[in-house]
Structure 1
């Protein structure tokens, strides 16, 4: 089904309507039959508010974080939702206007209001994880916010017993008292260890590596100097390596810091220069900087494996150019002109030969990849995500997708004008495969449903009806009954 540009823009605009009401443990209506063994809690994060004081945010990454909690309890589902009460959120609620700069949004008032405003709003809107009994709302440019896993009450910023305190130069400490903690940690389902990173601007710029054990104790962060500051959303972790893909997606730092442009508006991707791969050995030793020969930009890494020859195999979602996510119509235009859809690809890196190879897994657009949990660096096999159907003329992510790594088989389910979110697996390990949970915006009814899908063929087992629409979000997590608070 091909849709017109107007139909797509209308649907996307309706899907971004702000959340107006917070619910408390509302039992939801279910169509179909819930799997009897599906007991636990689904947490999901994404922007829930898109303006302050009548001023629209300039980028999806700036919307205030909004958490949905679905508790599955012996065939019933209970729903609770809350905005993350960050310091910025509370202050702007009281003031009724925008008080901070965002990733893609300048404060109203022009240059005088933005000049040297170096503290940016932590929107806490990108992801959510449960680790060592902590429920954390994540935003890669700042510290995580800890939430009560039952009530979703915001308990404050989490500094891991002081390990996230910024101890660099005075300017860095003033602009960011706590170090940034990215929205994409890697959690080893076997050992319970969490590995994450943060990027710190400075002279030199730095990549900070964090290790948090199964009891929630963070080791002293490791600091790795960078030759330049780039935009890295996610790193890959295997038994041997930590790998950061460094695109030539660079910020015009002077103009952004002086308040002349937002960080997003100052970001430019050199589409002719290939990404570099920073390889950091897990067991210590010097890092290596590899020229991949592959241009573009990567938000998400679906899987990372060590290869027998000592190299690295990554399944990545690669964009030929940096997406104009602050302007949906411009994104459509750029994709049509340049074939700029993100696609699932396999990138093989040889750290000894200083070379890499790239193979495309599918011709259809692909994003928000997930897989069942397992040991870090172990094969995950199926990769799930949202996708563009092959017959769709414009980049409209209306399909759910399953890619089988071993065979290359691609299964898709097109939802027409409805928009699915990230499909979240509920299987306990990578050795099993059962159900996926995906929040879907229903364009005709202008509301949201939560789908329970068979992970093998993407058929619907049950549909859970929400009392309102939930804007398109980013990431979430499933917490089995044995681990849920």
Structure 2
């Protein structure tokens, strides 16, 4: 495509094809379930506070754990109904041998600053319906920057899947500028799941399902955050896509069977269409050309657990849902009642596609596992996948365990914290001078019986032994989605 025409299309997508305006209908009654205090959010920034430590913290964990998630869930007696909706807050856990501290600070997006001044909600969000909202100029008018925080060069980026990355100043957590990757690319979706390649460069995508025909924007950035190349790819239909995967040669995206149509909100505009096959689209890393496209079993996926090539086979690991209930109804049910009983857990699955014949096989481990992590020093075929899971005794969507699974060895690992705990995404951090596969799992958790949040670290090869060290703060920190660990310099 001629560059001038391409830029015009990008400008159109960024400026006028924003996520549709919607409206909200609020409720003020809060159900009485003790774990819901983790979803109620907070009203102000959280100042620096020291944590109470237990056990011996590994020296490899000297550094900072950053996390991001929805935190402003209610204003002036009105509250959001969907977990996707809350304004993002960056959580900062600074870890050193002498002290562990926590600080939380809201991302000062356009939406947050305007609503903070007004003292009430004003703008549309993804999953809650409201009348008489303010006009939306572009996607970043409603950017809540609430999903992930990702380091690139000397920057930290607060990410949302519907708009631009937002720069965060690491030391202070102050909000910097919106990031544009090039001319005419302002306000384009830049997903919350960039992938850092072995050479330090970064791949990402952005879903644009609310235009016709639906499209996806593909990005490749240098290690310093400069745009190497990008492409606007037209899709056969607008399936929900949140994450993707890469191999040595390919970029792999999943156009799911949860398809965009019409609705009062962004999430309500999707419907689960089990009669429609999902599409696995394989693209060349060289130029983003489509290498192959495969129809696979209807699937809904938030998170991939990596992909690799095995001869003529493409192997894709993912946390797969059999339907889209978690996004379409369960998150609302949880916030409204405290329960989401009809929601299926994501199970760790492996999709194997023969790229010569096009035949695909889906292997489901049956093991509940979300927010996957693994040792990226190790070939994925050999690596264990870690994540959050359940003991089977907790309510749906209330993960109370750290779990692991190795496809090569067909081995499972578990550590269940027991009743009263909610477990969040683990970060795999290699042990000093270790072999691939040897490392620590660092994660946050919430003790809802005591209304306190904390950190835990487990030996990745000995999960069943439980934490080797923990740290607790005396306050409840809102549950989040994703984060990163940045080792201390020097």
**Length-normalised TM-score, structure 2:** 0.85
Alignment of 1:464-483 (within 5 A): 464-482=471-489
Q: What is the 5 A alignment of 1:207-218?
A: 207-218=216-227
Per-residue deviation, 1:266: 1.9
Structure-2 change in CA distance of 1:464 and 1:457 (3 Å): same
Which of 110, 118, 143 is residue 122 of structure 1 equivalent to? 143
How many residues align structurally? Answer: 447
**Aligned residues of 2:459 and 2:467 also touching (Cα < 8 A):** yes
Structure 1 unaligned regions, length at least 5: 1-7, 167-176
Aligned-partner SS, 2:486: strand
1:52 to 50, 75, 88: 75
How far, CA to CA, are the matches of 2:127 and 2:69 in structure 1? Answer: 16
Question: CA, structure 1 residues 374+100, in 2 after alignment: closer, same or farther (shift >3 Å)?
Answer: farther
Q: Is this contact kept in 2: 1:275–1:292, CA < 8 A?
A: yes
Unaligned runs of 5+ in 2: 1-30
- State the Cα distance separating 1:317 from its structure 2 match: 0.8
Structure 1 position 379, deviation (Å): 4.4
Could you say what secondary structure the match of 2:469 adopts? strand
Q: Which of the residues 383, 388, 396 maps onto 1:386?
A: 388
Q: Cα 1:402–1:378, aligned 2, differ >3 Å: closer, same or farther?
A: closer
Deviation at 1:105, TM superposition (A): 1.7
Cα contact 1:276–1:289 (8 A) shared by 2: no
Moved more, 387-396 or 94-103: 387-396
**Structure 2 Cα separation of the partners of residues 280 and 330 of structure 1:** 41
Q: Per the alignment, in what secondary structure is the counterpart of residue 268 of structure 1?
A: strand
Contact 2:64 2:485 in 1 (8 A): yes
Q: Provide closer, same or farther for how the CA distance between residues 285 and 294 of structure 1 changes in structure 2, counting only shifts above 3 A.
A: same
Give per-residue Cα distances to partners, 1:291-340, cap 9 Å, x unaligned.
3331121111012111211x3101111111101222225972323xxxx2
Q: What is the aligned partner in structure 2 of residue 359 from structure 1?
A: 363
Please tell me whether residue 100 in structure 1 is matched to residue 104 in structure 2.
no
CA contact (8 A) 1:290 1:351 kept: no
Once the 2 structures are TM-superposed, how far is the Cα of residue 144 of structure 1 from its aligned partner?
0.7
Does 2:161 match 1:140? yes
Q: Distance in 2 between matches of 1:129 and 1:285?
A: 23
Residues 131 and 286 (structure 1 numbering): CA distance in 2 closer, same or farther, change over 3 Å?
Answer: closer
* Secondary structure, counterpart of 1:31 in structure 2: strand
Measure, in 1, the Cα distance between the counterparts of 2:304 and 2:377: 15
Tell me how far apart the structure 2 counterparts of residues 62 and 400 of structure 1 sit (CA, whole Å): 26
The one of 424, 432, 448 equivalent to 1:443 is 448
Given candidates 418, 422, 426, the residue that maps to 1:419 is 422
Partner Cα distance (1:304, 1:12) in 2: 35
Q: How does 1:80-229 map to 2 (within 5 A)?
A: 80-109=103-132, 113=133, 119=139, 121-160=142-181, 162-163=182-183, 165-166=184-185, 177-188=186-197, 190-200=198-208, 201-229=210-238
Query: Which residue of structure 1 lines up, in the alignment, with residue 6 of structure 2?
Result: none
User: How many angstroms apart in 1 are the aligned matches of 2:394 and 2:48?
Assistant: 39
The worse-fitting range, judged by mean Cα deviation, of 140-149 and 220-229 is 220-229
1:271 match: 274
Per-residue CA deviation, residues 414-471 of structure 1 (Å, 9 max, x unaligned), is: 1222001001112279824221111111021011111122222232111111131112
Provide the aligned C-alpha RMSD in A. 2.4
Secondary structure of the 2:311 match is: coil
